[in-house]
Amino acid sequence: MSNNLPAVSIEAVTSGLASAGYIASPQIATAVYLAERIEKPILVEGPAGVGKTELAKALAAWRGLKMIRMQCYEGLDEAKALYEWKYAKQLLYTQILKDKLGEVLGGAETLSAALDRLHDFGDVFFSKEFVEPRPLLQALEQAKGCVLLVDEIDKSDAEFESLLLEILSDYQISIPELGTIAAVVKPTVILTSNGERDLSDALKRRCLHLHIGFPEQKLEERIVESRVPGISQSLRGQIVGFINQVRALDLKKLPSVSETIDWARVLVLLQSSELDHETVKDTLNVLLKYEADIETTMPQVTSFVAKAGRQGVFG
Amino acid sequence: MRQELHRFFRAARGAGVRVSPAESIDAMRAVKDVGFSDRGILRDALLLTLAKSEDEKQALGNCFDLFFSQPDVKDETASEDAAESGGAHPSPGETQTGGASAPSPELGELTQMLMARDRNAIAAALANAANAASLSDIRYFTQRGIFSTRILEALGIARLRDDLDALTASNPSEAERLTAATEALRENVRDTVNQALLLYGREEAENLRHEILRNAPLARLERRQVEQMKVLIRAIARRLRERYSKPRKRQRRGHLDTRKTLRRNAAWGGVPFLTSWKRRHRDRPKIVALCDVSGSVAQVSDFFLLLIHSLHEVVDDVRSFAFSGHLIEVSDILDNKSPEEAMSEIMSKVGFGSSDYGGSFADFEKGFMASVTAKTTVIVLGDARTNNLDPRADILRRISERSKRLVWLNPEGRMAWGWGDSEMPRYAAFCSVVRQCATAKQLERAVSDIVAAYQ
């Protein structure tokens, strides 16, 4: 399945992602298609667990490309994101090459003559061999191209954002000692953000902005179907129906797609064929991650289950 | 189609979506790629490239729907007027034949189109005429008339009038039909212009309204402006938060902190492996606000308190006091209640008396002087009109000595300071800054300066 040509149509993207187990909404497919055609990074925003990171994984799997992941956190800096000089190696080499250096400089009588000779050899110790590539540089060096995932960019500092700008707009990195390193094949870049803080306009400007919200009921059913094989259609409908009702509540953390999938797996493991309120009450902790949320939902469970059951019949 | 897109970008800017040239280029490229055939995909593509936040996506989506619904609207009205005049005439068959036979060489193009009820041709002609009149330049609602006239002229209304005169003489029934059709056409033009105003004029109108509002005196707002002003104040608060909430990175250079360095390196016998540097300590602002809520200044105090209490991210600690005849602390009321409730409660407790600055300062010194420390900025908002009571400037002096800064915001113009019962000059002697604060703009400046003093 590895083909590096951009997709021919939006449908091709949808089916391609589906083959990698990712059911994409039209917006997502359009975004991926456009990202490849006009060579722009995609900035994906949305609540946790709606499949932002999964999109990058699916894209890489479909394209048969390597995925390079760059997890952002506070205090992330150049040395961990771009490149680092291998100081130890440099030091070791100078020690080993000491004699050789002595030989080379042996004939020189004055200090300046020795310096001149040394200059003739160029910057041997600041060459590519001594650069330790970090994710961003690695992504540019992939001969076949790759999918670069910059995960949770909102967790990093504002300085790091500025660092990304060069790679995002020109697919290149400047290393002062070596010059500019451009991408062999332009990687497909996906940035994700949970909206913890507002990203700078400069960054946003360089990206396609994709917002993934909670999927529609039909789409979510298809997602569950592809992720949890062996689940009956009626149970699937009930699960999704139930979760959609929970999302209408005022909760601290709304259950997202990943929770739906986990829950579906749990129910399949428990071999329940129908959603009944006993099972729901026992497994609610899979769905909701805060005690307060569980307390809010508990009294509603019975009516939700009934409603979801009815939806399952008619839908 | 490129023209059409450019107009769309302009409309998008009007709708509050910031479209930079770079983004419009991206959008162009994207649209070239996906084409115009599928409206849903086109919408997605534009939303992806132009809108960069959830709100913007919403706004741009609405703008897209409005913009690309233009032809539909025209069709509708055209069919409506066709139905109307169809009703006036016995049967559509007859109008068809009438339309087919009527166009005689001496009639103008527009007349022929109207008589033939060629809806598509009329729509096309209307679009062309709108282009020729550069309708997308419309900015204010006062321009509606001139643009309508221009479009009608471009359509050839003059020739139409001549034809109408000629027909009235030769064929009165045809003339009647033409008159009706002309009326419908005028209506169409009016609709087109109104829609264009909605699309392109919004930005300008909003800007103008904001500009007026920013410079309007806070104390004399009309009732409907108060709501708008609250929105504006919230926007100001957001702007100030964005600017000042991020603590500046502390510098890691400068003077060596010898004591600290020695202490840190005690384990190595005082050999300084790790150095520490002296740092300038930056405090978050601590604010004590004393607001006059007597009649003349109440409205300004209201907005000021609303602003200062929506700066939680920027300001560490705000304590607010309201006074007219006497002084009470209002921080809790403001923090726990909605702005409207809070203000009415404050007013019921202290408001609308005649102000007694001296007495209120004495209340403050007695009860709350401890809240003023060397890190506090004290802000007094009031017109300093003491009603000829003892101004007690000596208390203000003591507050000034205890605090980091004492800022006086006066809603009255400088000219009025010192006139009548205004004790402003006497108070001013003890203030670090005295400034006029009558409009939203001045309020923003004043608060911005106060916060910036801590950066």
Please name the residue that has the structure tokens 């087109």. B192
pLDDT recorded at residue B131: 81
Taking any CB pair shorter than 8 Å as contact, residues of chain A touching chain B are 10, 26-27, 30-31, 33-34, 37-38, 40, 45, 158, 201, 204-205, 208-211
Return the structure tokens found at B288: 């004590």
What's the pTM? 0.67
User: Is B64 inside a domain boundary?
Assistant: yes
User: Is B264 inside a domain boundary?
Assistant: no
Same domain? B119 vs B171: yes
The answer, yes or no, to whether residue B70 has pLDDT greater than 80, is no
Q: What single string gives the DSSP state of each residue in B54-78?
A: HHHHHHHHHHHHHHHTHHHHHHHHH
End-to-end CA distance of chain A: 36
Going by pLDDT thresholds of 50, 70 and 90, the confidence category of residue B22 is confident
User: Is B255 inside a domain boundary?
Assistant: no
Task: Give me the long-range contacts of A86-91 (CB less than 8 A, separation at least 24).
Answer: A86/A130, A86/A131, A86/A132, A89/A129, A89/A130, A90/A125, A90/A130
User: Is B15 inside a domain boundary?
Assistant: yes
**CB within 8 Å: B48 and A201:** no
Same domain? B179 vs B299: no
User: Is B251 inside a domain boundary?
Assistant: no
Same domain? B298 vs B440: yes
Mean pLDDT of chain A: 85
Residue A225 near residue A185, CB atoms below 8 Å: no
**CB within 8 Å: A34 and B30:** yes
End-to-end CA distance of chain B: 50
Same domain? B292 vs B395: yes
User: Is B304 inside a domain boundary?
Assistant: yes
Residues of B in contact with A170 (CB under 8 A): none
- Report helix, strand or coil for B393: helix
User: Which residue range forms the structural domain that includes residue B359?
Assistant: 224-244+282-452
Same domain? B301 vs B201: no
Which of B31, B43, B48, B250 is the best substitution to test chain A (most A C-beta atoms within 10 A)? B48
Return the structure tokens found at A136: 């961003």
**CB within 8 Å: B22 and A10:** no
Residue B108 near residue B185, CB atoms below 8 Å: no
Query: Higher model confidence: residue B285 or residue B426?
Result: B426
Please name the residue that has the structure tokens 């550069």. B134
The answer, yes or no, to whether residue B243 has pLDDT greater than 80, is no
Integer Cα distance of B190 and B198 in angstroms: 12
Same domain? B324 vs B405: yes
DSSP annotation of A208 reads E
The answer, yes or no, to whether residue B423 has pLDDT greater than 80, is yes
Say how many residues make up chain A: 315
Please name the residue that has the structure tokens 């399952």. A312
Q: What residue type is B291 in one-letter code?
A: C
A277: CB partners within 8 A, 6+ apart: A301, A302, A305
Same domain? B175 vs B310: no
Return the structure tokens found at B111: 């007349």
Record: fold of A10-80+134-211: Rossmann fold (3.40.50)
- Report helix, strand or coil for B171: coil
Window B:218-257, CB contacts with A under 8 Å: 246
Residue A204 near residue A193, CB atoms below 8 Å: no
**CB within 8 Å: B48 and A37:** no
Same domain? B233 vs B161: no
Which of A14, A33, A210 is the best substitution to test chain B (most B C-beta atoms within 10 A)? A33
**Tally of structural domains, chain B:** 3
Lowest-confidence pick of A23-37, B78-92, B203-217: B78-92
The answer, yes or no, to whether residue A96 has pLDDT greater than 80, is yes
Integer Cα distance of B263 and B265 in angstroms: 5
Nearest CA-CA partner of A13 in B208, B352, B45: B45
The 10s digit of each residue's pLDDT in B40-59 is 889 999 999 988 888 888 88
**CB within 8 Å: A211 and B54:** yes
Of residues A27, A38, A210, nearest to B26 (C-beta)? A38
Task: Give Cα A140 to chain centroid, integer Å.
Answer: 16
Smallest Cα distance from B445 to chain A, Å: 24
Neighbours of A220 (CB within 10 A): 22
- The CATH number for B234's domain is 3.40.50.410
Same domain? B18 vs B35: yes
Contact status of B313 with chain A (Cβ, < 8 Å): no
Window B:13-72, CB contacts with A under 8 Å: 18, 20, 22-23, 26, 29-30, 33-34, 40-41, 44-45, 47-49, 51-54, 57
**CB within 8 Å: A209 and B34:** no
User: Is B217 inside a domain boundary?
Assistant: no
Which of A9, A10, A11, A38 is the best substitution to test chain B (most B C-beta atoms within 10 A)? A38
pLDDT recorded at residue A67: 93
Same domain? B83 vs B41: no
Which of A36, A159, A170, A209 is the best substitution to test chain B (most B C-beta atoms within 10 A)? A209
Of residues A201, A208, A211, nearest to B57 (C-beta)? A211
- Write down the ipTM of this complex: 0.81
Same domain? B62 vs B85: no
The 10s digit of each residue's pLDDT in A108-136 is 778 888 788 777 766 777 788 888 889 99
Same domain? B311 vs B295: yes
User: Is B89 inside a domain boundary?
Assistant: yes
